[in-house]
Amino acid sequence: MGAAMITRFDQIAIDLPRPRNPSPNSAAAVQELLGGKFGEMSTFMNYAFQSFNFRGRSKMRPFYDLIANIAAEEFSHIEIVSYTINLLLTGATKRGSDPTATPLASALDARNSYHFIASGQQALPMDSQGNFWTGQHVFSSGNLKLDLLHNFFLECGARANKIRVYEMVDDPTARAMVGFLLVRGGVHIVAYAKALEKLTGVDVGKLLPIPDISNKRFPEAKKHEDSGLHRILYQFSPNDYTEFNQIWNGEHPEDGSELSVQPASNEGATPPDLDEEPQLTAPLGPDIDHQMFADVAAKLGDDVKRRSARKRAKTAASRPRR
C-alpha cells in the first residue's frame, strides 16, 4: 500500500554556476531541451512508458532493465534543465510589489511571454517556440528492435539539439548543464547502440558520433569525459534492474575505454535556492493576510532551526542505500 516505486532526493545532478546575467531569451532557447520533440520530457517519458509496457520481459530481462533504469536517470534531466531555465529567468524583471512601476516591461520583448504570464519566471514543459510538449512524442511500438532503434535515433536527435542550444547560449549555467547532458545523453546513445548490437550483431556504435562532432570539442563536456563519466552507466536502484550489465559492457565505441556499471551515489548537488520575484507574487504577494503569515513564519522559524541541526547530522547518514 505505502510502498515506494520511486524515492526522491532533494538534490540535483551537478552544481550549477549562477548565470552572469538574467537572460530570458537564453531561457527560452533552453526550453527546447526540456519540452521540445527531442527534449528531456521526451526521453524521460519514452523510456518510462516503454518500461511499463515491456511485454515478455522475463525472457528479455536485460533489455527491460536497461530501459527502466535509464528512465530513472531522465527524471533528473528534466529537473536540471528546469533549474537552468529558472536561474536564467531569476531577476529578469524589476523586483518590487508596485505594479504601476511596470516591473515586467522588459518581458514585453522577450521571446517567451509564458515565462512571465503563465509562470513566475519559471520553466514549463514547452519548447523554444513556446509550443507545449505532447504525448505524441512517445514511441512505444512493443517491438524491441524498433523501440531500440527509435531510442537510438531519439538520443542522437536530442544530442543535435543540445549542441545547437550550446552554440546559441554562452551563459555558464546553460553550458555547464549542456556539457553534462551531452555526456550523460552520450551514455544513453551508446547504451541503445549496445542493446541493438546484442540483439542483432550489428555494431551500431560505429555510426557515432551523430552528428559527426565529438563531445570533446565542448569543454564543459570534455572535462566530464576526461574523468570517465561517459563510460559509466549508473544503477538507479538499490537492488533492481541489475541485468543491464549484460548489455553495458565492453568498449566505448568512440574512444575504446572500458564501460562500467556503478551504483548511483548520494552525493548530489544542493538545488539552487531560487530567489523570490515579488512583482510576480512568487511565492507570495504583498497583501497576504499578515496575522496568518506571521503564524506560518513562526513555525517556519522553528523549522529553520531544526533544519540546520539536521543538516549537520546528515553527512554521516546514508541516502539511497547500498
Contacts of a copy of itself in 15-54 (CB under 8 A): 25-26, 28-29, 32, 35-37, 41, 45, 48-49, 52-54
Name residue 263's beta-bridge partners: 235
Q: Is 229 in the site for a copy of itself (CB under 8 A)?
A: yes
CA distance 272 to 270: 6
Q: Is 243 in the site for a copy of itself (CB under 8 A)?
A: yes
For strand 232-235 and strand 260-263, is the pairing parallel, antiparallel, or unpaired?
A: parallel
Q: How far is the CB of 99 from a copy of itself (least distance, A)?
A: 5
Q: How far is the CB of 259 from a copy of itself (least distance, A)?
A: 14
Query: Looking at beta carbons only, is 257 or 262 nearer to a copy of itself?
Result: 262
Query: Which one among 18, 95, 206, 305 touches a copy of itself, defined by CB under 8 A?
Result: 206
Please give the C-alpha separations between residue 167 and each of 68, 130, 171, 291, 298, in angstroms, as whole numbers.
32, 20, 10, 50, 47
Q: Residue 255 has which C-alpha cell? A: 574512444
User: According to CB under 8 A, which residues from 175 to 194 bind a copy of itself?
Assistant: none
Q: Give the single-character DSSP code of 247.
A: T
Q: Residue 39 has which C-alpha cell? A: 527534449
Q: Residue 113 has which C-alpha cell? A: 511571454
Q: How far is the CB of 258 from a copy of itself (least distance, A)?
A: 16
Compute φ and ψ for 260, nearest 5 degrees: -145, 155
Q: Is 66 in the site for a copy of itself (CB under 8 A)?
A: no
Q: Is 223 in the site for a copy of itself (CB under 8 A)?
A: no
CA distance 73 to 71: 5
Q: Is 249 in the site for a copy of itself (CB under 8 A)?
A: no
Q: Is 202 in the site for a copy of itself (CB under 8 A)?
A: yes
Q: Is 72 in the site for a copy of itself (CB under 8 A)?
A: yes
CA angle 271, 137, 72 (to 5 degrees): 40
User: According to CB under 8 A, which residues from 86 to 125 bind a copy of itself?
Assistant: 86, 93, 97-100, 102-105, 107-109, 111-114, 116-125
Query: Which one among 16, 66, 67, 78 touches a copy of itself, defined by CB under 8 A?
Result: 78
Query: Which one among 172, 232, 249, 250 touches a copy of itself, defined by CB under 8 A?
Result: 232
Query: Which one among 87, 186, 231, 241 touches a copy of itself, defined by CB under 8 A?
Result: 241
Query: Which one among 16, 43, 67, 76 touches a copy of itself, defined by CB under 8 A?
Result: 76
User: According to CB under 8 A, which residues from 262 to 281 bind a copy of itself?
Assistant: 262, 264-269, 273-277, 279-281
Is residue 209 helix, strand or coil?
Answer: coil
User: According to CB under 8 A, which residues from 133 to 162 bind a copy of itself?
Assistant: 133-136, 138-146, 149-150, 152-153, 156-157, 160-161
Q: Is 261 in the site for a copy of itself (CB under 8 A)?
A: no
The DSSP line for 146-199 is HHHHHHHHHHHHHHHHHHHHHHH---HHHHHHHHHHHHHHHHHHHHHHHHHHHH
Q: Residue 41 has which C-alpha cell? A: 520530457
Q: Residue 174 has which C-alpha cell? A: 546553460
CA distance 85 to 108: 18
Q: Is 299 in the site for a copy of itself (CB under 8 A)?
A: yes
Q: Is 316 in the site for a copy of itself (CB under 8 A)?
A: no
Torsion sign (Cα): 167, 171, 176, 181: negative
Q: How far is the CB of 11 from a copy of itself (least distance, A)?
A: 6
Binding-site size, a copy of itself (CB under 8 A): 181
Q: How far is the CB of 261 from a copy of itself (least distance, A)?
A: 11
User: Which of 242, 264, 230 has its CA nearest to residue 68?
Assistant: 242
